[in-house]
Amino acid sequence: MSDIQFHNINTNGISMRIAEAGSGPLVLLIHGWPESWYSWRHQLVAIAAAGYRVVAPDMRGYGDSDAPAAAEEYRIDKLTADIVAVVDALGETTATLVGHDWGSMLVWNAALLHPERFNGVIGMSVPYGGRGKEEPLATWRDAMGDNFFYISYHNEAGGVAEAEYDSDPRGLLSMLYASPETPRAEATITDPKRAAGGWIGRIGAPLELPPWLSAEDLDYYVNEFTRSGFRGGVNYYRNFDANWHFMADKNPVVPIPSAFIAGAADMVIAGADEPALRAMMTPVMSDLREVTLLPGIGHWVQQEAASETNEAILRFLRSL
């Protein structure tokens, strides 16, 4: 960690904190929700040691970066413009993109909207299958009905989601930052209906920390969200439909070299194997070079399996 330097840069009308290590070709690491630059602590030094300049920003709405209050300030065009502005602020003309969770969605779209600025893109945990045929929120509402679904919860009026999370950051983060095999207590909310309550009580509290997350790690995340609050990150979810409309007239095919990394036990990919993921992604990727699935690993892949993730990232970087 002593090799990581921190500073704030002005980008796209906001201030962003970045963590930086190494020198060489620029690699940008874009985190998801609810995370921060710290999610890349194992990648920053390892990739820098391989001869790269590696930068992990706190994205808009997180950590020590600015967090505009209005939800429309988190639309996909503004978020991807933030990424381009980081490249500019660092004095570079191009970079390789790596994104996890929401960061994966951001890097896929950055490659679509600004392909001239990036020479390759890796998405992690959230694959890209092109633009859906219908507005996303309506699709999820139809599928879930009156049952709780966290994305619908994030889109409820009045900021109920961030109010719950801000009242108990440790409760939310400890619930989410777990491995598939982490033992848990019984959930306190067992009724699937949204009316029964919010999210924290729906997944039992973990009985122990996973081996990849120390008490100090969890404390860091809790302190970051206690200071910044959750509204910025939740605002990303409030733009699913706006993003869908914005991308309507854009070419849906990622035109630069690409790769995908995920834990095989990640609920996001719902048990999909490599052939299934390739079948989904190949039609909308001009040069899909590798799909890496790590057995037994869950959603927090770059933390749960840091060495294997670093190896997969470096294989792709060396192929460019």
Catalytically active residues are: 101, 299
| The pairing of beta strand 95-100 with beta strand 258-263 | unpaired
Identity at 149, one-letter amino acid code: F
**Distance between alpha carbon 137 and the CA centroid of its chain, in Å?**
19
CB distance 34 to 218 below 8 Å: no
Q: Which residues contact 267 (CB under 8 A, 6 or more apart)?
A: 298, 299
For the stretch 159-162, contacts whose Cβ atoms lie closer than 8 Å and that sit 24 or more positions apart, written own/partner, are 159/231, 159/234, 160/198, 161/198, 161/199, 161/230, 161/234, 162/229, 162/230, 162/231, 162/234
CB distance 29 to 40 below 8 Å: yes
Closest CA to 127 of 300, 265, 304, 285: 285
CA distance 200 to 164: 8
Closest CA to 166 of 231, 247, 83: 231
Partners of 99 in the beta sheet?
30, 123
Strand 288-294: give its sheet, edge to edge: 5-11, 14-21, 53-57, 26-30, 95-100, 118-124, 258-263, 288-294
Torsion of CA 273, 151, 76, 60, to 10 degrees: -110
Helices 169-176 and 160-167, interaxial angle, to 10°?
A: 90
CA distance 306 to 302: 5
